Amino acid sequence: MARVALIGSNGQLGTDIARLWTSSAIGRRDELIALTHADVDVVDAAWVRSVLTGVQPNLVINTSAFHRVDDCETQVREAMRVNAVGVKNVAEVCRDLGAVMMHFSTDYIFDGEKRSPYTEDDPPSPCSAYAISKLAGEHFLRYILPRDHILVRSSGLYGVAGASGKGGNFVETMLRFHREGAPIRVVSDQIQAPTYTLDLAAALLELANKGGRGAFHISNAGQCSWYDFATELFAMLGLRPDLTPVTSAEFGSPAQRPLYSVLDNGRLQELGIAQPRPWREALADYLRLSGQLAA
């Protein structure tokens, strides 16, 4: 039995990891120590050391991030503190305790020029402050824990807990816009794979069970634009909002995003772990589990 410290345990991914990791239906019987932001701030090196030394984990899962992508453009210092220095702080304690660290990064470290699914070996080329800070975190992870790390890149996360840092996930934001009755504009030229955190958490468990180390891309299967995703969401719920596709240029976000950032899950599959199901099935399941679609 392993002792697992989960940082960011009440975020959307953290919530689903905590739920699955402690489920008796899964063949892993870890003791999971759930740490919220109030229990430890990754930016504070002494606090991280004190908490993790007290826990004595074999595995530390760090889901913490500053991921309000547009805000990172103006709050670069904060982005770097959480997404880079925070990773360094956790990784150094893991190294000293002999623990493995599982950490999360993003499809946004790629520039989107490739136009076919990105593998773990494709060279990163970040085009926003957020992506640069996340890539810096990756470098700290690999530098401090060259062998004992599990780096998982994913995309477009949504889960029942909602992204706390963003005040809700894309699905809930779309549904709120619909309730408010305002016209909705959604970008139609950014292609990625929206990923349900419950499915990601299940794949992470298998990855941990199989002793995977290094970098892994994990996302729901298939690909779509944010506009396609919103269209499918409203169709599933029988809603007819005033929905208009716009280009990224028309939308005019402060931060640039890749126009194509689908992740190739090949390394996961090489380990004998199936890529999470197609994104439409995952979305339907999310809507059922959150009580928005009849079971």
Ligand X SMILES: NC(=O)c1ccc[n+]([C@@H]2O[C@H](COP(=O)([O-])OP(=O)(O)OC[C@H]3O[C@@H](n4cnc5c(N)ncnc54)[C@H](OP(=O)(O)O)[C@@H]3O)[C@@H](O)[C@H]2O)c1
Catalytic residues: 130
Closest among 82, 64, 95, 285 to 194, alpha carbons compared: 285
How far, CA to CA in Å, does 195 sit from each of 13, 138, 156, 216?
10, 20, 6, 14
- Rounded Cα–Cα distance for residues 194 and 67 (Å): 16
Instruction: Provide the minimum distance between the beta carbon of 95 and ligand X in the complex, in angstroms, as a whole number.
Output: 19
Judging by beta carbons within 10 Å of its beta carbon (0-12, 13-18, 19+), is residue 6 exposed, middle or buried?
Answer: buried
Instruction: Provide the minimum distance between the beta carbon of 3 and ligand X in the complex, in angstroms, as a whole number.
Output: 19
Identity of the residue, 27 or 94, whose beta carbon is nearer to ligand X in the bound complex: 94
Looking at 4, 5, 11, 261, which residue binds ligand X (CB under 6 A)? 11
- Rounded Cα–Cα distance for residues 285 and 295 (Å): 9
Looking at 89, 154, 190, 220, which residue binds ligand X (CB under 6 A)? 154
Residue 81, SS3? helix
* 150 is an interface residue for ligand X by CB under 6 A: no
| Contact window for ligand X (CB under 6 A) among 5-13, 17-25, 201-209, 284-292 | 5-13
| Contact window for ligand X (CB under 6 A) among 10-18, 52-60, 142-150, 230-238 | 10-18
* 156 is an interface residue for ligand X by CB under 6 A: yes
Instruction: Provide the minimum distance between the beta carbon of 69 and ligand X in the complex, in angstroms, as a whole number.
Output: 9
Question: What φ, ψ does residue 246 adopt, rounded to 5°?
Answer: -135, 160
Give every CB contact of residue 278 below 8 A, 6+ residues apart in sequence.
Answer: 220, 221, 222
* 165 is an interface residue for ligand X by CB under 6 A: yes
Looking at 18, 163, 175, 282, which residue binds ligand X (CB under 6 A)? 163
Residue with tokens 């950032």: 261
- Rounded Cα–Cα distance for residues 213 and 65 (Å): 21
Looking at 4, 5, 6, 13, which residue binds ligand X (CB under 6 A)? 13
* 164 is an interface residue for ligand X by CB under 6 A: yes
Identity of the residue, 43 or 76, whose beta carbon is nearer to ligand X in the bound complex: 43
Which 8-state DSSP code applies to residue 193? -
Judging by beta carbons within 10 Å of its beta carbon (0-12, 13-18, 19+), is residue 116 exposed, middle or buried?
Answer: exposed
* 168 is an interface residue for ligand X by CB under 6 A: no
Instruction: Provide the minimum distance between the beta carbon of 16 and ligand X in the complex, in angstroms, as a whole number.
Output: 8
Count of residues that bind ligand X according to CB under 6 A: 28
Closest among 185, 115, 172, 101 to 143, alpha carbons compared: 101
- Rounded Cα–Cα distance for residues 96 and 270 (Å): 31
* 246 is an interface residue for ligand X by CB under 6 A: no
Residue number of the CB closest to ligand X reads: 11
Residues 33-92 that bind ligand X (CB under 6 A): 36-37, 40-43, 63-65, 67, 82, 86
Task: Kindly list the residues in this chain that would bind ligand X in the complex (CB under 6 A).
Answer: 7-8, 10-14, 36-37, 40-43, 63-65, 67, 82, 86, 104, 106, 154-157, 163-165
